[in-house]
């Protein structure tokens, strides 16, 4: 856990605070002409106004509670929550002590036990490193996903849906709708893209459905895992990385998942980067070089030993 924390800190050291100044698509999620916006929402996008009391009540200095509910309607998230029995929603917008934008969706009342969705985002400027500087010459203005969760307060873990490392509560099963909502928010605030650094492999797999690693070699790595272990439950795969029991068949050294930047491109610059022949060539080179397997008996034994000392949420 400490090693992963150090890796994430190292990555974040290359992310500078934001100063104001089609590779993947879900289609026309955001209807900007008919969206509910106030003039003050636009004013909050400017540096001078962004830290006023009024603006701090807007998510990413742009969206109020009605805007969020409208986006939830357009992306089908509100309907899906109602289908699961959560038909009365309360949206809360705030900032934490670090200045991150916090969005919470509760069922009925704003109580911890009623929390359904929690999203924390911040604006960041990413400085490309030596691996990507040739193609990405300019710094990138990004929306950093610091935290995103969707929990079902009325559900329990089962054998069919087991508890994953780092997980405290069962999920809501609204991943695709939640991703659409976050991307719709991204279209409104107009940045180069979304940035996420997943501290557990199953979270990286979640983002990998529509995000791409900024480093093409890491993209090739996760695609190799998806190709070779596609018939295994996600629980076994993420525990395989946690226990160090996933290998390349050509080596006896365990493969390690290292948290790294995953990106969903919004700007033409990033879309061209991910569509480039150079990016694809490097990703495919890594993909072809790996043949991945899980030592299941060793994983099961080590998992049992770990859970004697730690809870899932502590991993």
What is the number of other CB atoms lying within 10 angstroms of the CB of residue 99?
11
What does the pLDDT read at residue 4? 45
Task: Mean pLDDT check: name the lowest of 121-135, 145-159, 264-278.
Answer: 121-135
- CA gap 269, 272 in Å, rounded: 5
Once rounded to an integer, what is the mean pLDDT over residues 235-256?
94
Task: Say if residue 211's pLDDT is above 50.
Answer: yes
Domains of the chain, by residue range, sit at 2-314
**Which of the four pLDDT bands, split at 50, 70 and 90, describes residue 260?**
very high
> What confidence category does residue 184 fall into, taking pLDDT thresholds of 50, 70 and 90?
confident
pLDDT in the model for residue 119: 94
pLDDT at 51: 56
Give the pLDDT confidence of 146-172 residue by residue, as tens digits. 998 898 888 877 777 777 777 777 788
The C-alpha atoms of residue 263 and residue 260 are separated, in whole angstroms, by 10
- Tell me what the pLDDT averaged over the chain comes to: 82
Q: What sign results for the dihedral spanned by CA atoms 185, 187, 192, 194?
A: positive
**Residue 53 pLDDT class (50, 70, 90 cuts):** low
**Bigger pLDDT: 114 vs 36:** 114
Confidence at residue 45, expressed as pLDDT on a 0 to 100 scale: 52
Q: What is the pTM of this model?
A: 0.78
pLDDT for position 42: 42
């Amino acid at each position: 856990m400490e090693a992963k924390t150090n890796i994430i800190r190292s990555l974040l050291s290359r992310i500078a605070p934001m100063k104001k100044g089609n590779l993947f698509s879900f289609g026309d999620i955001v209807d900007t002409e008919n969206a509910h916006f106030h003039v003050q929402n636009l004013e909050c996008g400017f540096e001078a106004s962004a830290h006023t009391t009024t603006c701090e009540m807007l998510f990413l200095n742009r969206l109020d509670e009605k805007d969020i509910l409208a986006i939830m309607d357009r992306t089908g998230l509100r309907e899906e929550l109602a289908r699961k029995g959560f038909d009365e929603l309360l949206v809360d917008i705030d900032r934490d002590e670090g200045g991150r934008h916090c969005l919470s969706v509760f069922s009925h009342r704003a109580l911890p036990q009623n929390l359904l969705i929690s999203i924390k985002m911040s604006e960041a400027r990413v400085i490309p490193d030596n691996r990507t500087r040739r193609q990405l010459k300019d710094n990138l203005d990004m929306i950093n996903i610091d935290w995103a969760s969707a929990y079902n307060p009325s559900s329990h873990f089962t054998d069919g849906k087991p508890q994953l490392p780092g997980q405290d509560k069962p999920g809501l099963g609204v991943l695709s709708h939640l991703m659409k909502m976050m991307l719709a928010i991204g279209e409104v605030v107009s940045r180069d893209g979304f940035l996420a650094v997943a501290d557990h492999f199953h979270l990286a797999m979640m983002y990998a459905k529509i995000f791409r690693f900024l480093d093409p070699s890491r993209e090739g790595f996760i695609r190799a895992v998806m190709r070779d272990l596609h018939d295994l439950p996600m629980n076994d795969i993420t525990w395989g990385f946690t226990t160090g029991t996933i290998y390349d068949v050509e080596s006896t050294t365990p493969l390690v998942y290292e948290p790294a930047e995953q990106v969903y491109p919004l700007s033409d610059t990033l879309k061209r980067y991910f569509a480039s022949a150079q990016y694809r060539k490097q990703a495919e080179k890594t993909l072809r070089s790996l043949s991945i397997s899980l030592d299941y008996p060793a994983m099961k034994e080590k998992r049992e030993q770990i859970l004697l000392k730690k809870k899932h949420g502590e991993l």
